[in-house]
Amino acid sequence: MRGSKAILKRPDRREAGPFGQILKFEPRRPDTRLFVAGAFQPLEDDLDDFARFEQEHDEPIDYRHRMIMNLIALAILIALVALGVWIAHTISDLQREQDCLMQGRSNCAPIEIPIPAQE
């Protein structure tokens, strides 16, 4: 409510009655856009607000630099995913070993048996 000095009053529970209290909402103020031919048209001020987000490209776009940056971003993403998988695998191994030790077992280390070569 711009410009008006209306004091907002909190609803009182004693006035609510058994089904609650009906609150009166003030109508919105008129829209600042023009209504032309059955549709709202933005004013000139609204168009100027978006001008600050526009970029003027005087020089051509360097696609080679852009591709290199994309490849670097892809390499970083792959490294992060690989690091996440490695951490998850390490945590899984540590949890398995800790579960074995908590059960009172000894020699919880994995035993690797070499596969004999078939001739």
- The band of 111, judged by pLDDT with boundaries at 50, 70 and 90, is confident
Q: Is the pLDDT of residue 75 over 60?
A: yes
pLDDT recorded at residue 1: 46
**Cα-trace Rg, the chain:** 34
Give pLDDT tens digits for 16-74.
667 776 777 777 666 555 555 556 555 555 556 666 666 676 778 889 999 999 999 99
* Straight-line distance from the first to the last Cα atom of the chain, in angstroms, rounded to the nearest whole number: 90
Mean pLDDT of 4-19: 65
Q: Going by C-beta distance under 8 Å and a sequence separation of 6 or more, which residues neighbour residue 82?
A: none
3-state helix, strand, coil in the chain (%, to 5): 45, 5, 50
- The CA distance from 27 to 1, in Å, is 10
**Structure-token pair, residue 62:** 């360097």
User: Is the whole-model pTM more than 0.75?
Assistant: no
